[in-house]
Amino acid sequence: MSERSLVSDIQDIQDMALKILYAFEDLYFEKDKGKIFDDIFSKYIPHVVADGKMDIYDVLVSLGTGHRAEFDRMVSELRAHSLIKD
């Protein structure tokens, strides 16, 4: 993988993590959506070793950089539930 490709991948992960964070903040308290976020996050977030002080954005970026396939599956689930859009 070239350096340019790696930088592009990291930027894509950061952009998507921000999109997920904004959706989480905007939609969590809407009827039934909080539970969907909880269910999805509880499935994928355990892949990240968090220090207890990391915010959601940092955890999402860590998931994307360390466990890209899991991150991509989480994004697909969030899209399937219309929690994020392209």
The residues, any chain, with a CB within 8 Å of residue 40's CB and separated by 6 or more, are: 74, 77, 78, 81
> Is there a domain that residue 86 lies in?
no
Residue 85 inside a domain? The answer is no
Residue 61 covered by a domain: yes
Give me the domain span that covers residue 35.
Answer: 3-80
The predicted pLDDT at position 49 comes to: 79
- Give the separation between CA 85 and CA 23, rounded to whole angstroms: 9
pLDDT of residue 28: 96
Q: How many CA atoms lie within 13 A of 14 on its CB side?
A: 6
Nearest to residue 84, comparing CAs of 51, 40, 42, 31? 40
Higher pLDDT: 68 or 51? It is: 68
Which residues contact residue 42 at a Cβ distance below 8 angstroms, ignoring those fewer than 6 apart? none
pLDDT mean over 51-78:
93
Q: What's the pTM value of the predicted model, to 2 decimals? A: 0.88
Domains contained in the chain, number: 1
Domain-embedded: residue 38: yes
In a domain, 41, yes or no: yes
> pLDDT (tens digit, 9 = 90+) per residue, 19-55?
999 999 999 999 999 999 999 999 999 989 777 788 9
In 3-state terms, what secondary structure has residue 43? helix
Mean pLDDT value of segment 58-75: 95
Question: What pLDDT sits at residue 5?
Answer: 55
Would 57 be classed as within a structural domain? yes
